[in-house]
Amino acid sequence: MTAAVQLSNVSKTFGAGADAVHAFGPVDLAIEGGAFISLLGPSGCGKSTLMLMIAGLLAVSDGEIRVNGERVSKPRTDIGIMFQDNTLVPWRHVEGNIALQLELRGLDPKANQPKIDELLKSVRLEGFAHRMPHELSGGMQQRAAFCQALVHDPKTVLLDEPLGKLDAMTRESIRNDLQALWMQKRPTVVFVTHSIEEAVQLSSRVCVVTPRPGRIDRVIDIDLPWPRDLAVKRSARFANYVADIQGIFHGFGIL
Amino acid sequence: MASASSETARLGPRWFDPLSRWAAKSWMFVLFFIGFFLFWEVSIDLFQVPRYILNKPSEILLASRADLPRLLEYTYVTGLEAIIGYVIAIAIAVPLGLAIAFSSILRRTIYPFFVSIEMTPKIAFAPLFISWLGFGLLPKVIIVFLVCFFPIVLNAILAFSSLPDELDRFCRSTGAHWARVFWKVRLPAAMPQCFVGFKYAALNATVGATIAEFIGSDQGLGFYIQISTGNMRPDLAFAGIFLLTLLGLLMFGLVTAAERLLIPWHISVRRNA
Ligand SMILES: Nc1ncnc2c1ncn2[C@@H]1O[C@H](COP(=O)(O)OP(=O)(O)O)[C@@H](O)[C@H]1O
Ligand SMILES: [Mg+2]
């Protein structure tokens, strides 16, 4: 069976000679289709670098990455990608920004209107379709950005700290919607976060990344029932996962 | 849209709303403005200023009315020089800025060249152009072009080379053709910074035309101001200055209106910031 995303001996070094920065790896990892994988690690350990390499937006220095069996050598168009700073453009309203993803791909937004409406509803933005980004709160902007990243039904979704700039309560609320969306569509998700709780709640597996140069220190299967609602989050097993991971980062000298 | 009319009680007809809001914000400035001219008006008598040095605003108004046909004709002449030079500057500088932003060769050759020329005051070339090309329209248009071109091209280069990384990556991940990315993302994203250059250049345009006329011409407001000053008619010189100010305001106002029309989203983003 081929993994949805396969990393083989992947590493990245920026620059050359005395100024070279070894940013990431080497790392081996297989991500099975439909999984929700979190990359959990300190700032600067190379998580964003890895996301860009999986997307084909940055070349690997060594090793190889395969997505659905295909070696990544140029930007992949079959993924959905979302960054900490969203890619909503200020001259289009919410719906127009979602349509931008389709238009850039040469698809007809009108033909996809039902899908756009459904996505907006799933992130509770119905009624905000014609608002401009600057009229929305930070949380609503990220919700709109989710729709933009998902409207072309990508099989693989890369989320680089999409909730990084939001307040705790907004994060919590968007997490639940994100989980519902994933359970419904089941894309393969690679999710970057700083929050241990967030990683445990959302993921089927959590990859613990070491400080730079980032290596995957542990891969932890999160064996908790779906959906991970309040009852699950209050359970002792949930708390155990969180405590274990905290212990690992303590061992790195970070916590 | 939650308009201001729902926030503040409406006092008069609809057109009155923006007017009253403007008045509420600007009454101090208006008072100061009126006060300034009143002070000027009475000072001339008070300090017994000779009329060949300076006139009262009321005398300037009367003199302008008497010489209105010529003033309007010259406003047209100077306006034409300024607008032609300005439009040509935009037409050449924006595509060139785009080319420089995307060509590594141009970035390493023309761009540093432009940056160094930007240091020289373009207006210093004016006498040369007049001596090469005579008293007609062409040398004035060229001088206006020179003083408008550099702010536009430098802002256009900045505009087209500063797309945020995230947006660039998003576009690349769609596999869209370069031209499609340009029309849908790069061009609109560059407009606000381009307009910074357009507005700056609009202010330069009338300055360029006026100085070019000072150096050599037989018509236009710059010529008129110079002749009037030489004839010890400061009232007429001020009439010319007043019309030049109106011309500058008109050009700046037109560019600002174009900005509102073309990129209304930017104005509202800026206002909310
Ligand atoms: N283009 C680049 N050139 C040089 N160094 C870079 C570049 N991009 C990232 N780095 C370095 O690589 C390391 C990993 O960066 P990044 O992937 O952004 O980390 P993370 O997302 O985990 O916070 C950092 O030390 C960063 O300074
Ligand atoms: Mg990062």
CA of A49 to the centre of ligand 2 (A): 7
| pLDDT at residue B6 greater than cutoff 50 | no
- Which of B207, B113, B108 is closest to B153 using CA atoms? B113
For residue B21, give the amino acid letter. R
- What pLDDT was estimated at residue B1? 41
- What pLDDT was estimated at residue B2? 42
| pLDDT at residue A176 greater than cutoff 50 | yes
**In whole angstroms, what is the distance from residue B133 CA to residue B131 CA?**
6
The alpha-carbon radius of gyration of chain A (Å, integer) is: 18
The alpha-carbon radius of gyration of chain B (Å, integer) is: 23
* pLDDT grade for B12, boundaries at 50, 70 and 90: low
DSSP state letter for A214: B
Mark yes or no for CB contact B174/A104 under 8 Å. yes
* Residue nearest ligand 1's atom 16 by CA: A46
How confident is the model over B76-114, as pLDDT tens digits?
999 999 999 999 999 999 999 999 999 999 999 999 999
- What pLDDT was estimated at residue B154? 95
- What pLDDT was estimated at residue B202? 95
How confident is the model over A46-84, as pLDDT tens digits?
999 999 999 999 999 999 999 998 999 999 999 999 988
Q: Indicate the fold that domain A1-12+23-78+187-255 takes in CATH.
A: Rossmann fold (3.40.50)
- What pLDDT was estimated at residue B136? 87
Cβ atoms of B114 and B131 closer than 8 Å: no
The alpha-helical segments, DSSP class H, found in chain A are 47-54, 94-104, 113-122, 138-150, 168-185, 196-202, 230-233, 236-251
| pLDDT at residue B164 greater than cutoff 90 | yes
Average pLDDT, chain A: 92
- What pLDDT was estimated at residue A78? 93
- Phi (first) and psi of residue A70, to 5 degrees: -100, 130
**In whole angstroms, what is the distance from residue A59 CA to residue A57 CA?**
7
Token pair belonging to A255: 């916590």
| pLDDT at residue B186 greater than cutoff 70 | yes
**In whole angstroms, what is the distance from residue B8 CA to residue B16 CA?**
12
| pLDDT at residue B9 greater than cutoff 60 | no
Q: How far is CA A65 from the centre of its chain?
A: 17
Alpha carbon of A134: minimum distance to chain B alpha carbons (Å): 6
Token pair belonging to A82: 């979302």
Cβ atoms of A90 and A134 closer than 8 Å: yes
3-class SS shares of chain B: helix, strand, coil, % to 5: 85, 0, 15
Q: In terms of C-beta density within 10 A (0-12 exposed, 13-18 middle, 19 or more buried), how is residue B86 classed?
A: buried
Atom of ligand 1 nearest to the CA of A42: 22
- What pLDDT was estimated at residue B178? 94
Give chain A's largest Cα–Cα span: 55
* Residue nearest ligand 1's atom 14 by CA: A46
SS3 state at B127: helix
| pLDDT at residue A109 greater than cutoff 60 | yes
To which CATH superfamily is domain B66-272 assigned?
MetI-like (1.10.3720.10)
Mark yes or no for CB contact A55/B173 under 8 Å. yes
Q: Does B72 touch chain A (CB under 8 A)?
A: no
The mean pLDDT of A113-129, rounded to a whole number, is 93
- What pLDDT was estimated at residue B67? 94
Query: A2 or B12: which carries more pLDDT confidence?
Result: A2
**CB under 8 Å to A147, separation ≥6 — which residues?**
A94, A98, A116, A119, A120, A123, A125
Domain boundaries, chain B: 66-272
Instruction: Tell me which residues have their CB closer than 6 angstroms to ligand 1.
Output: A 14-15, 21, 23, 43-49, 212
| pLDDT at residue A1 greater than cutoff 60 | no
**In whole angstroms, what is the distance from residue A43 CA to residue A30 CA?**
23
| pLDDT at residue B269 greater than cutoff 90 | no
The proportion of chain A whose per-residue pLDDT surpasses 90, expressed as a percent, equals 78
* Residues A212-241 as b or e (16 or more Cβ within 10 Å = b): bbbbbbeebebebeeebeeeeeeeeebeeb
Q: Does B270 touch chain A (CB under 8 A)?
A: no
- What pLDDT was estimated at residue B225? 96
* Residues B184-213 as b or e (16 or more Cβ within 10 Å = b): bbbebbbbbbbbbbbbbbbbbbbbbbbbbb
Cβ atoms of B198 and B90 closer than 8 Å: yes
* pLDDT grade for A141, boundaries at 50, 70 and 90: very high
| pLDDT at residue B8 greater than cutoff 90 | no
| pLDDT at residue A36 greater than cutoff 70 | yes
**In whole angstroms, what is the distance from residue A174 CA to residue A140 CA?**
9
Cβ atoms of B178 and A104 closer than 8 Å: no
Cβ atoms of A191 and A37 closer than 8 Å: yes
Element (H, E) at B19: helix B16-46
Which of A81, A104, A108, A165 best tests the B interface by mutation, with the highest count of B CBs <10 A? A104
**In whole angstroms, what is the distance from residue B183 CA to residue B204 CA?**
30
**ipTM greater than cut 0.90:** yes
- Which of A92, A222, A241, A77 is closest to A158 using CA atoms? A77
Atom of ligand 1 nearest to the CA of A21: 5
* pLDDT grade for B15, boundaries at 50, 70 and 90: low
Tokens 């910031």, residue located: B273
Alpha carbon of A81: minimum distance to chain B alpha carbons (Å): 7
The alpha-helical segments, DSSP class H, found in B67-186 are 68-102, 104-108, 110-119, 126-133, 137-160, 165-173, 178-181
How confident is the model over B187-227, as pLDDT tens digits?
999 999 999 999 999 999 999 999 999 998 999 999 999 99
**A15 CB-side CA count, 13 A:** 7
**In whole angstroms, what is the distance from residue B82 CA to residue B248 CA?**
9
